Structure 1
Amino acid sequence: MNTTGPGDKGLRLIPFRGLRYVPERVGSLAAVTSPPYDVVVRPDGLHHLESADPHNIVRLILPQAATPVERHRQAARTLGRWLAEGVLAPDAKPALYVYEQRRGELLQRGVIGALALSAPSDGIVLPHEDVMPDVVEDRAALMRATEANLEPLLLTYRSGGEAGGAADAPEGAGTSGVIERTVRRPPLLATTTEDGFGHRLWSVTDPGDLAEITEDLGHHQALIADGHHRWATYLRLRDEHTDHGPWGYGLVLLVDTARHPLQVRSIHRLLHRLPVGRAVEALAGSFRVRTIEGPLPEALDALAGAAASGNAFVLAGDGRFHLVDRPDPGLLARTVPADRPAAWRALDATVLHSTLLDHVWRIPDAPEHIAYIHDTAAAVDKAERDGGTAVLLHPVREEVVRELARQGVMMPRKSTSFGPKPATGLVLRSLTLD
C-alpha cells in the first residue's frame, strides 16, 4: 500500500478509555467473546454464543427482539445494565491497545485505537467493496442507540519497502517497535477462544510511545480488510453530528501486513429459494458443469484448479458438488459491465452477480433470497438442510484487492474475507466517555 509523503495527512489514531469485561463478573473471557457480527452463522451460531455466557457480547452486536427498533433499544438497555452492574468497566486512562492473536505458527499483532475519520476523497482509508444500504442503516441505528463502537474494524497498512514507513526506521522504532516492547510486559488480559486462537491485550499509555505511533502512522494510508459496512456507518454518523466530537472517530485494529500478512478467504453465497437441480439446469449452454461426488476438500481442490485459468464456482446442496467453469465469452460480454478495469471484470464475484444472479438465475440481491456465509462447511450444510444452493467461491489474491482499491474501484459486496479477524468483546469504545 502506498504511503502519504512526509508531512502529508495520514492515519491518526488516538487513545480512548476502553470498555472491558471485568473477569470476576463473567464465567470466562473466552465465553463472552464472539466473532464479528456478520460472521456469526444464524441461528445456530447465535444460540451457541448466547448460551455460552449470559453476558456474551453477541447480546449487544446481534440483539434479538421482534422489531429492529426494539432490538436496538434492547442492546442499549443491556449495555447500560452491564455497566451499572460492573460487568463492563472503563479503563482508568485513555490508551491505545496492542492486540495479539496466535494459533500455531500464525501470529498477528496490531494496534487498536480510535481512528480519525477521513473523507473518501482523501484516500487515507481505502475501501474495496460495495455495501448494502440496509445493513449500514441497521448498524447505524445500533450505534446511535448504544452510543458505542462495539467491535473494531480490521484495517491494514504496509511498512515494508515504503518511503517514510516503519521499514526505513531503525530496528525497534515506529509502531512495530512500540509493539515489540509492549508485548514483553504482562498483558491486561489473555484468553483462548474455542477456535484455538490465543488472544492477548496490552494498554499503551506512555506519551513517548504514543507519539512514536502517531509519527509513524501519519505516513500511511490503510486498506479496509474487514468492516466495510461499519466504516460506512462511522462516516454516516460522523456526518450527522455537526461538531463531530467523538463521532469523528471510529474503533479500528490496524495491522502492518508487511510484518503480519493476513489470510484472504472467500465469502460464499446461499441462495435460499433456488434448488441445485434448477441452478444446474439453467447453466446449460452457458457454462461447463461437472459433478464431483466429494468430499468437500476434493471439491475445493477442483475449484482452485479451475479458478487458476478462469471464472469458476462450486454449487452444493444436493449431497454432491458441481464444478462450474468455462463461461461462454459472448455471455460475459453481454452481461458484465464494460466500463470497469479488466481486473474487476474478471473477478468471480463480478461474474457471479452480473452474469449468474442477474441474468441466468434472475435472483435479486436481497436478504430473503441470498445469505452471505464465511464458513464453507456451514454454507454447504445450510443449503442441504434448507433445499437451497450454496455457491462456493475461490479466494481473490490480495494484490488484486489492493490494486483495485488504489484505483478507487469497488469490488462486488462480500467479495473477500481477510483474517484472522479480531475477537469481538475484548475492548469496546463508549462515545460518552471520549
Structure 2
Amino acid sequence: MNSAGPGKSGLDLVPFRGVRYVPERVGSLAAVTSPPYDVVVRPDGLLHLESADPHNIVRVILPQGESAELRHRHAADTLRGWLAEGVLAADGTPALYVYEQRRGDLLQRGVIGALRLSEPSEGVVLPHEDVIQDVVADRADLMRATAANLEPLLLTYRGDEPGAEEVPAAGTAAVVESVAATPPLLATVTEDGFAHRLWAVRDPEDIAEVRADLSHRQALIADGHHRWATYLRLREGRPSPSPWDYGLVLLVDTVRHPLRVRAIHRLLRGLPVGRALRLLGDTFRVREVPGPLAEAERALAGAAAGGNAFLLAGDGRFHLVDRPAPALLARTVPSDRPPAWRSLDATVLHSALIAEVWSLPDSSERIAYLHEADAAVEQAVRTDSTAVLMHPVAESVVRDLAGAGVRMPRKSTSFGPKPATGLVLRDLDL
C-alpha cells in the first residue's frame, strides 16, 4: 500500500495553526489529555478523566447533557471559553507537527497535518471498516458546533524501505528524524506509561519535502473511520475551497514504525451468559476454559488459528465458542462477498450469532464496543450481560481487503498505539 492508484493524486498534507494547551494554565499536560473518544470506557473512565483536571479535553470530545443538542452546545461553549481564557492558544504560524509516542521498546513517530479529503473511489485514503451512521451523525453535529477537528485520525502509509546504514533517510523520514533530534514543543507522560513529545515543523523546505514525498502515496485508515466519514459529511454542500476540505490526521510510516493490531470486544447488554450459551444449542462447539483472563485469551488464540472462535464471559467463567456449524454459516453469512470477508470473526459474530442465534437488535443500546478485554469482562459481570472477546485480525488481511475495496464489519480492528487527544487541535475558524 505505497502508491496511489493509476492516474490518482496522492496524499495532500498541509500545515495548520495548531491549538494547544498553555502549560502554565493547567495542572499538567498529562492531566488534560484523553484517549480517543471511542476508547474512553464509560462511565468510569469518563469520570476519572473529568476529575483529573477541570480542563481535561474529554469535556469537549464527550460532553455531558440531557440531550444531544445541549451536549454539543456545551462542548462548543467549553472550547471557546478555554480559548478566551487562555487555557488553549493557537500557534502563531502554520506548521506540520512531528509526534512521538514511546513506551519501553515501542517507538512510534508520525506527522500531524491537515489532509485534503478524498473519496474511497480516488484510491488515496482507504477505509477498511463500515461505520455506524448514528455515530457519524452525532460526531458531525459535535464538530459542526465546535468548528474544530478535536482529535487526529490515525492513518498509515508505506514509506520507502530503509537503505544501507551509510545511506541517509530521505523525504518524510529524513524530516521526522531530523526534527526529533531537537528540543520538543512539549513532552509529557500519560498514566498508561506512554511518553509523548511534539515538535512543530515550520521550515518551508522541510514542509515542501514532506508534502512532495507524500504526494504519490496512499494511506490506510488505521483508526478513525467514523471521524473520516464525519469529515466527508461536513464537507458536503459547502463551497470550496474552505477549511472543511481538510481534516486533522496523524500519518505513520509503518515501514519504520509498524503498528500493533488488537481486537475490539463486544458487550451484549441484557443478554446473560447462561441464556447466550443455551441459545447456542449445537450451532457451535462450547468448552469452559480456565482463567485468569490471560490464560483464557491464550486458549482463544489457539482456537482462532483453526477458524472462527470467541470467548464468552460475564458469569465469573470463560467459555470458548468455536467450530460453527457449516449450515448456520451458509444460511446467515452473505454469499456475495469475498471469501476473506465471509470468514472474518466479526462477520460470523454479527451475521450468525448476534443477528440469528441471539436475535439482538444492532443498536448502541444493546451492543457496546470496548478496546480492553478486562473492561468488557468487568462490565459484563456488573450488568449481568455477555462479553464477547475477539482475537485480532492479521494486518495483512486488513490491507488486502482495503486494497480490494472491501469493507470489514465495523469495529473489527484496533490499531495502535493511538494518538493522545488534547495535544494539538485544529480550529476551523482560523
TM-score (norm 2): 0.98
Give 1:240 shift.
3.0
Matched, 1:4 2:4: yes
Structure 2 gaps of 5+ residues are none
Residue 319 of structure 2 aligns to which amino acid in structure 1? H
1:160 and 1:387 map into 2 onto residues whose CA distance is 50
Tell me the secondary structure at the aligned position of residue 109 of structure 1.
strand
Matched, 1:273 2:270: yes
Name the residue aligned to 1:315: 312
Residue 334 of structure 1 aligns to which amino acid in structure 2? R
Give 1:293 shift.
3.3
2:268 and 2:163 map into 1 onto residues whose CA distance is 45
**How many residues get paired?**
429
2:125 and 2:163 map into 1 onto residues whose CA distance is 20
Matches within 5 A, 1:316-395: 316-395=313-392
Name the residue aligned to 1:259: 256
CA contact (8 A) 1:238 1:244 kept: no
Q: 1:123 to 1:8 in 2, by over 3 A?
A: closer
Name the residue aligned to 2:289: 292
1:234 and 1:100 map into 2 onto residues whose CA distance is 25
Is the deviation greater in 235-244 or in 137-146?
235-244
CA contact (8 A) 2:188 2:196 kept: yes
CA contact (8 A) 1:267 1:374 kept: yes
Give 1:367 shift.
0.9
Matched, 1:399 2:376: no
Give 1:419 shift.
0.2
1:346 and 1:120 map into 2 onto residues whose CA distance is 24
Structure 1 gaps of 5+ residues are none
Residue 90 of structure 1 aligns to which amino acid in structure 2? A
Residue 42 of structure 1 aligns to which amino acid in structure 2? R
1:244 and 1:35 map into 2 onto residues whose CA distance is 32
Give per-residue Cα distances to partners, 1:115-160, cap 9 Å, x unaligned: 0001221010000000001100000000100000000000000124
1:287 and 1:378 map into 2 onto residues whose CA distance is 25
1:57 and 1:294 map into 2 onto residues whose CA distance is 37
Residue from 193, 201, 206 that aligns with 2:198: 201
Tell me the secondary structure at the aligned position of residue 422 of structure 2.
coil
1:159 and 1:229 map into 2 onto residues whose CA distance is 25
1:355 and 1:4 map into 2 onto residues whose CA distance is 36
2:257 and 2:175 map into 1 onto residues whose CA distance is 15
CA contact (8 A) 1:16 1:114 kept: yes
1:104 and 1:407 map into 2 onto residues whose CA distance is 36
Tell me the secondary structure at the aligned position of residue 256 of structure 2.
coil
CA contact (8 A) 2:128 2:408 kept: yes
Tell me the secondary structure at the aligned position of residue 180 of structure 1.
helix
Name the residue aligned to 1:215: 212
Residue from 177, 181, 185 that aligns with 2:182: 185
Is the deviation greater in 115-124 or in 2-11?
2-11
Give 1:54 shift.
0.1
Runs of 4+ in 1 over 4 A off after TM superposition: 5-8
1:331 and 1:139 map into 2 onto residues whose CA distance is 36
Q: 1:167 to 1:351 in 2, by over 3 A?
A: farther
Give per-residue Cα distances to partners, 1:317-340, cap 9 Å, x unaligned: 000000000111111111111111
Give per-residue Cα distances to partners, 1:22-80, cap 9 Å, x unaligned: 00000000000000000000000000000000000000000001100000000000011
Matched, 1:414 2:419: no
Q: Percent identity?
A: 72
2:299 and 2:207 map into 1 onto residues whose CA distance is 49
1:167 and 1:225 map into 2 onto residues whose CA distance is 26
2:18 and 2:359 map into 1 onto residues whose CA distance is 46
2:399 and 2:208 map into 1 onto residues whose CA distance is 28
Residue 143 of structure 1 aligns to which amino acid in structure 2? M
Name the residue aligned to 1:140: 140
Name the residue aligned to 1:235: 232
CA contact (8 A) 2:4 2:123 kept: no
Residue 81 of structure 1 aligns to which amino acid in structure 2? G
Tell me the secondary structure at the aligned position of residue 280 of structure 2.
coil
Matched, 1:91 2:91: yes
Name the residue aligned to 2:115: 115
Give per-residue Cα distances to partners, 1:391-433, cap 9 Å, x unaligned: 0000000000000001111100000000000000000000011
Give 1:283 shift.
1.0
CA contact (8 A) 1:8 1:218 kept: no
Residue from 173, 178, 199 that aligns with 1:176: 173
2:22 and 2:205 map into 1 onto residues whose CA distance is 28
1:313 and 1:180 map into 2 onto residues whose CA distance is 42
Matches within 5 A, 1:58-73: 58-73=58-73
Give per-residue Cα distances to partners, 1:207-251, cap 9 Å, x unaligned: 100010011001100000000000000000011312240000000
Aligned-pair RMSD on alpha carbons?
1.4
Give per-residue Cα distances to partners, 1:372-402, cap 9 Å, x unaligned: 0001100000000000000000000000000
Is the deviation greater in 251-260 or in 118-127?
118-127
Q: 1:176 to 1:140 in 2, by over 3 A?
A: same
Q: 1:275 to 1:244 in 2, by over 3 A?
A: farther
CA contact (8 A) 2:153 2:248 kept: yes
CA contact (8 A) 1:5 1:219 kept: no
